[in-house]
Structure 1
Amino acid sequence: MPYLIRPATLEDAPEITALLNAIDVIEVGRPETDQHTVEADLKHPDTDLARDTWLAFDADRLVAYGLLWDESGGERIDLDHYVLPEHQDVGVSILDAMEARSLERARANGAERAVVHLYLTVRATLAPQRLTARDWDVVRRYHVLHRPLDAGRDQPVELPGGVRLRACGSEEDRRVVHALYQDTFAEHFDHHPRTYEQWFHDVDGERVDWSLVWIVGTDELGDAGFLLARNDRAAMGWIRSIGVLRAARGQGLAGLLLRHAFATFAGLGRETVGLGVDTDNTTGAPALYARHGMTVHFAVDTWEVTLT
């Protein structure tokens, strides 16, 4: 029986979540996908569900899923692709459609080519030779790190003189965090400038517990860094992003934010905390996380192809 391929709808979120968790078990050893994350992806303002999503069914079983979004407004297009290992052919069929749509969206942006990024764990169920045969190459690697928590060890931090720390408690504070994010991540690989409204959606702001988002500052520099944490992932507490302005680096502010997050999560009863980091990050973040006891959980590669 041939596969049925159709676009996704928001109502498909439970079935997509089940597929992604089945793939999580294969790739990282346990299910780590929450349905609200899938729903946020399907609501992405830079995704047209009817044309930028693909579901493949073998009879009534979902076996592959693809999602495309365009944050750059230019030639850069991003993809997520998931397929059960025994269904490689339909996975490639979806990849065909995603490549064609990527070029279409880039050209609609006025670009002559599409530079497409696809994010896969190093143990991806999509066979890597299927990508290399199509001129895809790995251009970046990210590590998902994790660390066990202990309420006895991870105690509330003491602030040094001249340093202040506050929770993100107002709309004004959220805009401060957005500005700090744009500044501290400006030179990072794959960063695209985002308006406040775009960023708010990117972080799924309607669901964020803003009491778990902190701003750190100094008497000399004012607001100088932030940490955005989430406690709505079943697998672990999660640090979505952390950044310190260049002028404030080397003063221990990032480490202070980390320790504060560890203590907060431990106090909430979480046993593990995690975050993601670019292994080629030039700010010293990987070494910082290692010094604070974080180790590699799994690795994710950014694959790239240029389509003309």
Structure 2
Amino acid sequence: MPEGSLTWRPLTSGDARASADLLNTIETVDKIGENYTEEDTLQELIDPYADLERASLAAFDGDVLVGYMKIRHKPVVAEVHRVFLDGGVHPGYRGRGVGATLVEAGVAAAKVVHARHHPARKLVVDVHKAEHIAGVAELVRSRGFAPVRYFQRMEHPLGDAIGAVPIPAGLAVEPWSARNDEDFRLVRNESYRDYWGAGPMPVDSWRNKITNQTFRPEVSFLLRDEATGAPAGMLVTMSWEADTAATGVRDAHFMLIGTLRGYRNRGVASALMGHALRAAAGQGYGRASLNVDSANPVGGFGIFDKAGFTPKLRYVRWALEV
């Protein structure tokens, strides 16, 4: 353990306020565009696939949370079980060994949850961080992690000049509703089969990660085949009130964009983005954003460039094969 009088224990759902305070303090230095309310951090702490008792660790200086790590395991895997190691350290406590302790504890915890859920599969521990954050690369490299993937945050300013994009012939657009929610989830799971590192989202994960307090149903759309009634593609938008309060900009973040294989190369994703951009602009959003894999198998940056998005921030996915 690093020197000092820190108290170490697992995270609990009661740490939501302290977690939000820590993450917002981290944002003032790292500037990755992520701000949190207590409700936002609580949603992460009650994730059904985050085993806080067995796979989290928090460092406190008195009542102040100064560092944490937590592991999220996958409910369903194929050959490889990729667990996600998330964490952060208060800027005033960096360089004291807190981060090293948390990473080492995270790898150990990943082995524990892996043994409980998918012991017959190969284990890989993933860390996802913005490329510019000082010290991250050195820390994770020293623990055996290697960069395996890059992602870009892309942004699109919104205003009055958002052009119309035609809906492909034979398809109709409809907004999210409780009635078609399961179609959205179906399209996500089927279309993301081709995406690196993605696995199916069970209903409990969908409700925790997608249709929570940050979900914006009025800017989330489904395209449906008029002849068969089958869903063809979907776009899910989310927005964080804490980001708006911190920046003064309402951001419509296109969290999920997916097209079923049989409807690809027909302009489905472009139509969904165009429709969502116009809806967001009409509802007073000042910007749209999305994250894209550098090796996206269904279009990469081209479709987003064409829609008017430009790269703003790069992330690195670090991986450790255990």
Instruction: Report the TM-score, using the length of structure 2 for normalisation.
Output: 0.86
Separation (CA, whole Å) in 1 of partners of 2:172 and 2:75:
35
| Equivalent residue pairs, number | 305
Kindly indicate whether residue 278 of structure 2 is the aligned counterpart of residue 272 of structure 1: no
SS of corresponding position for 2:222 = strand
Q: Which digits, 9 at most, give the CA deviation of each residue in 1:110-149, with x for residues without a partner? A: 2375311111111235432221122110111111111110
Match of 2:86 in 1: 80
Deviation at 1:44, TM superposition (A): 0.6
Which letter does structure 2 place at the counterpart of 1:143?
A: Q
Contact 2:175 2:222 in 1 (8 A): yes
SS of corresponding position for 1:270 = coil
Separation (CA, whole Å) in 2 of partners of 1:149 and 1:105:
43
Match of 2:202 in 1: 195
Separation (CA, whole Å) in 1 of partners of 2:143 and 2:158:
43
SS of corresponding position for 1:138 = strand
Separation (CA, whole Å) in 2 of partners of 1:124 and 1:63:
17
Match of 2:304 in 1: 289
Q: Which digits, 9 at most, give the CA deviation of each residue in 1:214-234, with x for residues without a partner? A: 111344564210011124443
Deviation at 1:170, TM superposition (A): 2.8
Match of 2:257 in 1: 242
Work out which of the residue numbers 137, 153, 172 in structure 1 matches 2:161.
153
SS of corresponding position for 1:108 = helix
Q: Which digits, 9 at most, give the CA deviation of each residue in 1:44-93, with x for residues without a partner? A: 10122222222212344322121111114564321101113442401111
Separation (CA, whole Å) in 2 of partners of 1:29 and 1:120:
9
Work out which of the residue numbers 210, 223, 227 in structure 1 matches 2:217.
210
Deviation at 1:280, TM superposition (A): 0.7
Match of 1:299 in 2: 314
Match of 2:43 in 1: 40
Separation (CA, whole Å) in 1 of partners of 2:200 and 2:33:
34
Separation (CA, whole Å) in 2 of partners of 1:84 and 1:197:
31
Work out which of the residue numbers 134, 153, 169 in structure 2 matches 1:144.
153
Match of 2:234 in 1: 226
Kindly indicate whether residue 68 of structure 2 is the aligned counterpart of residue 65 of structure 1: yes
Worse overlay, 246-255 or 135-144: 246-255
Deviation at 1:169, TM superposition (A): 1.9
Which letter does structure 2 place at the counterpart of 1:259?
A: G
Separation (CA, whole Å) in 2 of partners of 1:112 and 1:223:
33
Separation (CA, whole Å) in 2 of partners of 1:3 and 1:191:
36
Q: Identity percentage over the alignment?
A: 22
Distance 1:155 1:104, change over 3 A: same
Worse overlay, 78-87 or 108-117: 108-117
Contact 2:54 2:113 in 1 (8 A): no
SS of corresponding position for 1:185 = helix
Deviation at 1:34, TM superposition (A): 4.1
SS of corresponding position for 2:43 = helix
Contact 2:238 2:252 in 1 (8 A): yes
Kindly indicate whether residue 169 of structure 2 is the aligned counterpart of residue 183 of structure 1: no
Instruction: Report the TM-score, using the length of structure 1 for normalisation.
Output: 0.90
SS of corresponding position for 1:33 = coil
Match of 2:30 in 1: 27
Distance 1:111 1:26, change over 3 A: farther
